[in-house]
């Protein structure tokens, strides 16, 4: 059994795999500073609450876009879980060739997503992750990461509204019944959700047009991705465990098949 850890800007998402089967998932807030002891206690307690003893874990892997948590998190994995984690970065075997101008600028989370999408659905594929940022990453039929687009996530856009405009309230991000809103909350929801749908459709169609890949498969993931995927036909698959699956796949390529 292995522990996979995806460190995002908002949450640290963890999953435990028994071979290819995802046994459980749990999350920890990223933005609160913690020591390795605090991370260790949280990881062991959450694993135990999900019926997993630390001695069942044979290894762990971490992908992170938040460098300042890594020292404490790696230390917690070594001391409390008993696993020296594989950290996704330059030199990690992924099966994907990055052909962008500066490969080292590509976030580990994006590499993990494209690995999972290419392995599970083949190429060419456009991978969309609706996280803190909304990202669109193109992988060719022969497994080359060739292009990426980055836009503000829905959550960032929402916070910009209510933090920058004094009279706009903090709202739940959800699709309203109609785009023809008649009061403030639903008008904000309409702008955020329908605006994201419009952005998604335009970017997907433009990527297909400029790449010449009319048969491009579109795979989406991320917490708010389900809202968008249910409202447009340009997304072929919504895969909520794509990132965790990518970590499992990369672990297998580097440490051995689990």
Angle at 67 between CA 65 and CA 70, to 5 degrees: 110
Angle at 149 between CA 157 and CA 206, to 5 degrees: 105
Rg (CA), the chain: 19
Is 62 within 8 Å of 87 (Cβ atoms)?
yes
Q: Catalytic one among 6, 109, 113, 245?
A: 109
Token pair 């990690």 is found at 92
At CB < 8 A and 24+ separation, what contacts does 30-36 make? Answer: 30/66, 30/69, 34/69, 34/72, 35/72, 36/71, 36/72, 36/73, 36/74, 36/75, 36/76, 36/79
How far apart, in Å, do the first and last CA atoms of the chain sit? Answer: 7
The structure tokens listed for 200 are 């998604």
Beta-carbon count within 10 A of 69 CB = 20
Residue 37 falls in the annotated catalytic set: no
Q: How many residues does the chain have?
A: 258
Question: Distance of CA 167 to CAs 64, 161, 180, 184, 239, Å?
Answer: 36, 10, 20, 10, 37
Q: Which residues are catalytic?
A: 109
């Amino acid at each position: 059994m292995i522990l996979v850890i995806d460190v995002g800007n908002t949450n640290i998402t963890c999953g435990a795999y028994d071979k290819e089967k995802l046994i459980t998932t749990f999350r920890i807030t990223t933005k609160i500073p913690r020591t390795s002891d605090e991370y260790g206690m949280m990881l062991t307690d959450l694993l135990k609450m999900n019926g997993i003893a630390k001695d069942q874990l044979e290894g762990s892997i971490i992908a992170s876009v938040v460098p300042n948590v890594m020292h404490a998190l790696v230390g917690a994995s070594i001391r409390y879980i008993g696993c020296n984690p594989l950290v996704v970065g330059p030199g990690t075997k992924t099966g994907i060739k990055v052909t962008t101008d500066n490969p080292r600028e590509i976030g580990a989370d994006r590499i993990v997503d494209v690995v999972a999408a290419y392995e599970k659905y083949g190429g060419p594929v456009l991978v969309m992750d609706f996280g803190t940022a909304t990202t669109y990453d193109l992988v060719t039929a022969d497994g080359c990461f060739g292009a990426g687009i980055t836009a503000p996530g829905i959550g960032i856009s929402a916070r910009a509204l209510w933090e920058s405009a004094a009279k706009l309230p903090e709202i739940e991000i959800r699709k309203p019944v109609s785009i023809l809103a008649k009061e403030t909350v639903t008008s904000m929801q309409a702008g955020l959700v329908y605006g994201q749908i419009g952005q998604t459709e335009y970017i997907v169609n433009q990527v297909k047009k400029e790449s010449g890949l009319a048969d491009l498969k579109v795979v989406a993931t991320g917490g708010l991705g389900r809202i968008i995927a249910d409202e447009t036909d340009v997304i072929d698959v919504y895969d909520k465990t794509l990132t965790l699956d990518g970590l499992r796949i990369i672990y297998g390529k580097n440490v051995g098949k689990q």
